[in-house]
Amino acid sequence: QTSVKALEKLSAMTMEINSYETENFEQLYGDLVIVTDNYFDNVVNTLEVNGRNYRLRLMEPPKLDEADTLSFTPAYAPEYNKVIIPVSHLQPHYFWHDAYPQTLMYSTVGWMLAHELAHGFDSIGRKYDAKGNLNNWWDRNSTEEFVKRKECFKQQYSEYRYNERKLARTNAQDENIADNVAVRIAYYAFEQWLLQHQDEPTFLKQESLPNMNVTPQQLFFLSLAQVWCADVHRGWRQNMLAIDVHAPQEVRVIGMLSNFDEFAKEFKCKANARMNPRRKCVIY
Q: What are the catalytic residues?
A: 116, 179
Pick the closest to residue 103 from 200, 189, 228, 178 (CA basis). 189
What is the C-alpha separation between 86 and 267, in angstroms, rounded?
33
Q: At what angle do helices 174-197 and 109-118 cross, to 10 degrees?
A: 130
Burial environment of residue 207 by CB neighbours within 10 A (0 to 12, 13 to 18, 19 or more): buried
Question: Which of 83, 96, 262 lies closest to 178 in space, CA to CA?
Answer: 83
Q: Within 10 Å of residue 179's Cβ, how many Cβ atoms?
A: 24
Cα 155 to Cα 48: distance, rounded to the nearest angstrom: 51
d(C-alpha 123, C-alpha 146), whole Å: 9
Write the secondary structure of 86-115 as one string of H (helix), E (strand) and C (coil).
EHHHCCCCCCCCCCCCHHHHHHCHHHHHHH
Nearest to 111 by CA among 127, 89, 141: 89
Distance CA 10, CA 147 (A): 21
Q: Which of 101, 87, 95, 120 shows the shortest CA–CA distance to 18? A: 87
